[in-house]
Amino acid sequence: MIMGTHMALTLYIHPLASFCHKVLIALYEAGTPFEAKVVDLMDPEENARYLEVWPVGKIPVLHDGARDRIVPETSIIIEYLDRHYPGNEPLLPRDEALALEARLWDRFFDLYIQVPMQKIVTDMLRVSGENDRRGVADAHAALATAYDLAERQLTDRRFAVGEAFTLADCAAAPALFYAGIVQPFSGTHPSLSAYFERLLERPSVQRTLAEAKPYFNMFPYKEAIPARFL
């Protein structure tokens, strides 16, 4: 939706951030016009300005100018978009049981794959002597458990909760992209790997990764990024 010469929707993002990718994929799936505003949280002035938008300071955050609403938290943003700016296909299934399942697997990919992956990555950025070896070992163990659970869920399923692409798949694509770099699953989890390849075929996912590509050199594990993504 375009309001006059201004777009109603502004998404505050960083192009490298996996949680931002999740919402970008949802927007591209729906074909919803929006303006992306890149936030450099390392810049003190920019960070201070952003804290006026969302005091928690996390990205992404959606601003809906048409409704004068600030919408934080990726899962809530995608549900909000699905309600007010829907595409041709709903990202939250209309069937209540399936909707609950989609929300469950959305949380699964966020909490059990994204979060431990981020723990491993951010530990690489710590100055020497401040590393959390125990925490990183726990994160690797958590990923191993999550991969096994996902492998079971994705056997005989096209997408996370069935035949249709949903909110859960928006979460899964960036989670698996980055987690697969820090702890590969391609040789050990065939159903999960095949699912990830199906996600990579989506134009929404391809576009999101293409936009992230110029920033991959900032990723602490950049040497481990598979050549096909570079």
Residue 70 forms beta bridges with which residues? Answer: 63
CATH of the structural domain 96-225, one choice from 3.20.20.70, 1.20.1050.10, 3.40.1010.10, 3.10.180.10: 1.20.1050.10
Span(s) in the chain for CATH 3.40.30.10: 2-84
| Range list of H helices, the chain | 18-30, 44-53, 74-84, 96-108, 115-124, 133-154, 167-182, 190-200, 203-212
CA dist 9 and 68 (Å) reads 10
Span(s) in the chain for CATH 1.20.1050.10: 96-225
Q: pLDDT digit string (tens) for 97-137?
A: 999 999 999 999 999 999 999 999 999 888 888 889 999 99
Residue 3: pLDDT over 70: no
pLDDT-based confidence at 2, cuts 50/70/90?
very low
Residue 213: pLDDT over 50: yes
Tell me, what's the pLDDT at 191?
98
Homologous superfamily of the 2-84 domain (CATH): Glutaredoxin (3.40.30.10)
Checking 47-55 for CB contacts under 8 A at 24+ apart, the result is: 50/12, 53/12, 54/12
